[in-house]
Amino acid sequence: MQKIKKFLLFNFIFIGLLTISGRFVMPVHAAEPTQDYLLDDRKQIDEYTEKFRQIPKDILWEMIKDDTLNPLKTTAALRVMNQDFVKTMVQSERQQYERKLLRNLSKSDSPFIQVETMYGICVANRYEYFDSMVPALIQKLNHYNTGVNLLAYENLNKLLLDGQNRPREARVVFNTLRKILFLSRIKLETITTPEPKLDRQLKILRWAIKVLGNQELQRLPREVIHLL
């Protein structure tokens, strides 16, 4: 099982590194989609989440294990489990949950499930997975679907607020965003007011600088400074 976990994690980190390298990065200045239909899935997830809060933990667990369940319902079940139950699980239960989420991550093509799964893995085992899952969550801040990047932003905020402002974690966040922004520095030159996706990135970046100190501003591309 340890070999399977390492294999799944290696593959996911490899995909994340490709994203950071620029092959799949969407321009941070891309226009924010305004069509209401891009938020329809997120609205459904919110509705399912409220309904599922009335469901016992063992039923939620069966829903998460059901690979035939609608992805939006799976995401909602994961949200409730992550928010309401994971922190109170005993160690063996957390490990079982962690293994299931790692499997989900390797085979799910739903960005909503991916975002909630990455968050859940961090909640279940923050020390081991923060360094790999948080950069991947930060990449989702560039997702074209407003519902996806909003969910990623909310989950990142929850993780950072729960982390007691640890410098080690702030360094992971800072280095990830620094790479993304350096890749987009030419496009950032023409921006005076950040659009919503970029604004979310900058808010996360401000948290990292606050923890690490203002000297980190010197390590950022100059095109970013005026936006901060």
Q: Average pLDDT of the chain?
A: 85
- Statement: residue 16 has pLDDT above 80: no
User: Which of 37-41, 94-98, 159-163, 187-191 has the weakest average pLDDT?
Assistant: 37-41
- Ordered by start, the domain boundaries in the chain are 36-163, 166-228
- Statement: residue 14 has pLDDT above 80: no
- Write out the two tokens for 103: 């499997």
- Statement: residue 38 has pLDDT above 80: no
- Statement: residue 69 has pLDDT above 70: yes
Provide the whole-model pTM. 0.81
Q: Average pLDDT for residues 89-103, to the nearest whole number?
A: 94
Q: Average pLDDT for residues 167-187, to the nearest whole number?
A: 93
Q: Average pLDDT for residues 182-208, to the nearest whole number?
A: 90
Name the nearest CA neighbour of 186 among 140, 138, 222.
222
The pLDDT score that the predictor gives to residue 36 is 58
Tell me what percent of the chain is helix, strand and coil, each rounded to the nearest 5: 75, 0, 25
Cβ atoms of residues 27 and 185 within 8 Å:
no
Give the domain 36-163 fold. Answer: 1.25.40
